[in-house]
Structure 1
Amino acid sequence: MMVSRKLFLFFLCLPAIFSSCTGRFVDINRPGSKLSPDELKRDNYAVGSFLIQMQGVAFPEQENAYQTMIDFVGNYLGRYTTYTKELPKNHTLFNASNAWCAWPASYAPPIVSAFNEVVKLNGKENISYAWALILRAQAFLRFTDIYGPFPLSMNNGSDEVYSSQRDIYLQLINDLNEATTLIASDTHLAQERETLASYDLVYKGDFNQWRKFANSLKLRIAVRISNVEPVMARSLAEQAVRDGVIEENEDNCTISYHKSGLWTTAVSWGDSRICADIESYMTGYKDPRMSKYFLQPISTGVRRFIGCRAGAPIGSNVVAKRLYSTVNVSQTTPGIWLTASEMAFCKAEGVLRGWNMGGGTAKEYYEEGIRRSFSQWDADGVATYLMDNTSTEANYIDAIGGYGGDAVKVSTITIKWDDNATMAEKMERLITQKWIALYPNGQEAWNEIRRTGYPHIFAIPQTTNGYTLLTPNRIPFDKNQQIYNRQNYTKAVELLGGPDDYATRMWWQR
């Protein structure tokens, strides 16, 4: 894999990585600058630089951050893409090197230090603090959903002491509530927007949009914890919907990159290709979004799109890149992190659970989720798609000369909503369509597979280090913690409630 720089150098260079976002930031950080503290505070120069750094972890663009934190974990394990390199050790095979296990956690210190600097410079009763709370919640939600227990250094001042996943979730909920309250009560939003807009890579200083995003994170969290904390989940979900979540595609959380991490890793480097699982479902459903999601392989045949089995024993990266389809992104394609479509599917599940999601039915929100996704991708044919009650996942047929082999379909779920179906059928139908619409947010795709067991996915076509799971439940901790942080590591395993391996479940899976 092309992880070419040392991580500590990456962290030192974080401000430089994002400096192109604003020329003024470049001036501030030029070596030899002798700006006073008052000058640094003017126009939020210093605060803005740290908020840019936080966005770089919350919504990673830089290729090393994207590959090690997003590709290796969410995208591969969520069955959107899979590796094309000759990799005998990786998370898909449940045997990744310790470096792969340690990488995601190593991105926590930069966001914590940046958050602390924002507080030090501006205090807590302002919009920059509310914004920093939201960015930190977005990042730490990913960290805990990768490992489970995690150092909650945001509060106890230590990056060595682990907190339980439940405690982290409770803290993130409190942080998001504090942030949305601050934004709702602020009487200087216009002024804040003017001074912070140039540092906002997502909503350009529109903090009412950030409030919607924060409420949407609450709804995402509520759905995630619905099996383990049903009362709390219902209250949180109903509050989020009442206060206003993302409902229109123009409000989606997307970020325009100078060089997309997904484009770099999948297209430029060619380290991954689309996964057989999503290709087989979309092929079977004759899904019009396929041409929006994927590109034809170089070695074209009768089929327009060909995915690769997750965990396939790749013999040649050069051959694999030619045989299998890649993602349809350009260097400047925006990253997609939370959408109106996802929120509609969350509401549909909420209704199935008896929650008040605004008065709509499960069918109405389910169909809205699909419509929003088709509109988001500018795809035609949604009316026909919604009425299809016969199409199912296709059998997977490997490329000629491919590496994973054929596979019989593992699902017979159709598209059209059926109010008379069993609860299990409704959930499979809903989550399968949600999973397709979540693309390319692999972390959320992996979360849904682990949380619900849907969509059904193909078996790994080679040995998986003794595991019988189809995808890991978590990523093991950095083994060096057993040496340099042994006491806290031991406590972390206790909080985990099982061995420090790929099989132990997340708190919210129980």
Structure 2
Amino acid sequence: MKINHIAKGLSLAALALTLGSCTSGFEEINRPGGNLDKETLQRDNYSISSFLIQLQNRSFPEQENWYQTNFDLVGNYLGRYFTYANDGFSSKNFTIFTAPNSWLAWANSEVLVPAKSAFAEIEALSDKGDLNYNWALIMRAHAFLALTDKSGPMPFGLDPKNPEGYNSQEDIYKALVNDLTTASKVLKAYTLANPGVKVNEAADKIYGGDFAKWIKFANSLKLRIAIRMRYAAPELAQQYAKEALAEGVIESSADNCAITYIPRGLYKTSVEWGDSRACADIDSYMNGYEDPRISAYFAEPETKADRKLVGCLAGANVKNKAAADKLYSAAAVTKNSPSVWLSAAEMWFCRAEGALAGWPNMGGSVKELYERGVKESFTQWGATGVEAYLQSEKTPANYKDAVGGYGKDMPAVSTITPKWDEAADVEVKLERLITQKWLALFPNGQEAWSEIRRTGYPKVFALPVATSGYTIHVANRIPYDVNERTRNQANYAAALTILGGADDYATKLWWQQKK
């Protein structure tokens, strides 16, 4: 783990290695209006692609340090896929609501500011009808959605008169949907007029310049947003879902939003550094279900155990990293395996939940859509046995800590099965649906964490250590960068009013309104 490197700031040489190509240092140097004027940059066909890559890297941060600080230590741990094996994290971390102040600054310094900067440069160098501008809108929407879902109201600059002012999460969601709708229309018009033509292939590390797939991604992101706000604004959520499905979302794993960044972020954090190991919660569910995807998700621990997947309790007091690394399972990834940020399986589960909510035209019954989600996940991971799995009445297993481990044994917290039960009440159906969605979202911990907060599912283990007065098992949000209290004082104070609660881990986000 290289936290100390981040605290000191990456050098330009390090940036050259992590960003690759011509993107290094762009937010610090080579800014239009600085040493290079816009005409020169455009003449060299240099700036737009560079800023697009920069925005892409911040929106889908696979670079090892950005990945760890903004996704692994946050969503992956709070989403209960992984937990820390690094004893240096045991007393100060997001899981037990004690993260150091320096950790709270990461979202702002490593994602928000660079993403806003890159987008501003793209906007300055293009027209709003340009393909690049609208492609950038989609990538920015992905970055901003993750940011607001971490902390709530954020200074996204929706008010041009007060660019540093915090915008409400409701306003941010509406703005992101508007951007996705606009971008989808522009890209659709181009692809209809130019079928099969690819644009900016070298700059597009996800779809290789295939804007037809970016359109599906934009609509899929819109559907993700619709489901997220289902309890907060049900009528608007249903409208957004209807629009997204009418325009076309991802339905096949072949169109998944996947990026190959070498070395992959999760490979560094879990395999090479050994900072992250499987969490006890996913151990309980996958082992209890005898889930065929286990070997695709996790490696067997180095120390021989009674099962393939051995997880550690979230919040456990790990005292020795070398020992923990041997006792618990690492991720089953290689340095060049692709990382999926949005999948067809997720979209089928979103549609299933829409059908469960009574929304029309989701594409099938709740049962059919639920089972399609499970099947698509098995396809994505190359797992067999899905038909038997869908008929399984197995339940999550009691958790058994590794011999010599750092947690404790825990009884299972759920009795939900994979097999669909049409006679069950709506809440039981929701638990079954979200539990399987959570398993299918792996390893996208950001989304897993959001599902736990939004629905209460899957049920997870209580934290085994003192949590400074908090009674919740999973943080509802991450507090703001403490520096905002002085550098953006008036807007920070206003943000707390918009937030509607204290700037702590317990205050709920706008969309957490499930009764």
TM-score range normalised by the length of the shorter chain: over 0.9
Counterpart of 2:344, as a letter, is A
Q: Once structures 1 and 2 are overlaid, which stretch shifts more, 414-423 or 156-165?
A: 156-165
Q: Distance in 1 between matches of 2:500 and 2:65?
A: 31
Matches for 1:444-459 after TM superposition, within 5 Å? 444-459=447-462
Deviations 1:439-486 (A, max 9, x none): 000000000000000000001111111101000000011122222222
Contact 2:352 2:362 in 1 (8 A): no
Cα drift, residue 159 of structure 1: 5.5
The equivalent residue for 1:475 is 478
The equivalent residue for 2:258 is 254
Unaligned runs of 5+ in 1: none
Counterpart of 2:63, as a letter, is Q
Matches for 1:223-372 after TM superposition, within 5 Å? 223-372=227-376
Find out whether 1:417 has 2:402 as its counterpart. Answer: no
Find out whether 1:161 has 2:162 as its counterpart. Answer: no
The equivalent residue for 1:124 is 128
The equivalent residue for 1:104 is 107
Secondary structure, aligned partner of 1:264: helix
The equivalent residue for 1:439 is 442
Cα drift, residue 114 of structure 1: 0.7
Q: Distance in 1 between matches of 2:159 and 2:261?
A: 31
Cα drift, residue 230 of structure 1: 0.4
Q: Distance in 1 between matches of 2:477 and 2:11?
A: 25
Q: Distance in 2 between matches of 1:157 and 1:50?
A: 25
Q: Distance in 1 between matches of 2:99 and 2:470?
A: 13
Contact 1:18 1:53 in 2 (8 A): no
Counterpart of 2:270, as a letter, is A
Counterpart of 2:53, as a letter, is I
Contact 2:200 2:209 in 1 (8 A): yes
Contact 1:126 1:186 in 2 (8 A): no
Aligned CA distance change for structure 1 residues 52 and 282 (closer, same or farther; 3 Å): same
The equivalent residue for 1:63 is 64
Counterpart of 1:228, as a letter, is A
Cα drift, residue 487 of structure 1: 1.0
Q: Distance in 1 between matches of 2:242 and 2:301?
A: 45
The equivalent residue for 1:502 is 505
Q: Distance in 2 between matches of 1:499 and 1:193?
A: 51
Q: Once structures 1 and 2 are overlaid, which stretch shifts more, 431-440 or 82-91?
A: 82-91
Aligned CA distance change for structure 1 residues 43 and 301 (closer, same or farther; 3 Å): same
Deviations 1:208-232 (A, max 9, x none): 1001000000100000000010000
Count of aligned positions: 505
2:431 pairs with one of 425, 428, 434: 428
Find out whether 1:54 has 2:90 as its counterpart. Answer: no
Q: Distance in 1 between matches of 2:173 and 2:443?
A: 24
Counterpart of 1:3, as a letter, is I
The equivalent residue for 1:76 is 77
Contact 1:44 1:195 in 2 (8 A): no
Structure (1 or 2) with the greater helix fraction = 1
Contact 1:242 1:358 in 2 (8 A): no
Counterpart of 1:508, as a letter, is W
Secondary structure, aligned partner of 1:337: strand
The equivalent residue for 1:383 is 387
Cα drift, residue 39 of structure 1: 5.7
Q: CA RMSD in A?
A: 2.3
Aligned CA distance change for structure 1 residues 134 and 12 (closer, same or farther; 3 Å): farther
The equivalent residue for 1:492 is 495
Aligned CA distance change for structure 1 residues 25 and 70 (closer, same or farther; 3 Å): closer
Cα drift, residue 489 of structure 1: 0.9
Secondary structure, aligned partner of 2:359: coil
Counterpart of 2:437, as a letter, is K
Find out whether 1:400 has 2:411 as its counterpart. Answer: no
Cα drift, residue 121 of structure 1: 1.1
Secondary structure, aligned partner of 1:66: helix
Deviations 1:287-323 (A, max 9, x none): 0000000001111122222000000011111110010
Secondary structure, aligned partner of 2:200: helix
Deviations 1:54-81 (A, max 9, x none): 1111111111100110011100000000
Secondary structure, aligned partner of 1:48: helix
Q: Distance in 2 between matches of 1:159 and 1:329?
A: 40
Taking structure 2 as the reference length, the TM-score comes to: 0.93
Q: Which runs of 4+ in 1 moved over 3 A?
A: 6-15, 17-20, 34-40, 187-195
Aligned CA distance change for structure 1 residues 352 and 444 (closer, same or farther; 3 Å): same
Deviations 1:220-250 (A, max 9, x none): 0000000010000000001101110000110
Unaligned runs of 5+ in 2: none
The equivalent residue for 2:154 is 150
Taking structure 1 as the reference length, the TM-score comes to: 0.94
Cα drift, residue 17 of structure 1: 4.2
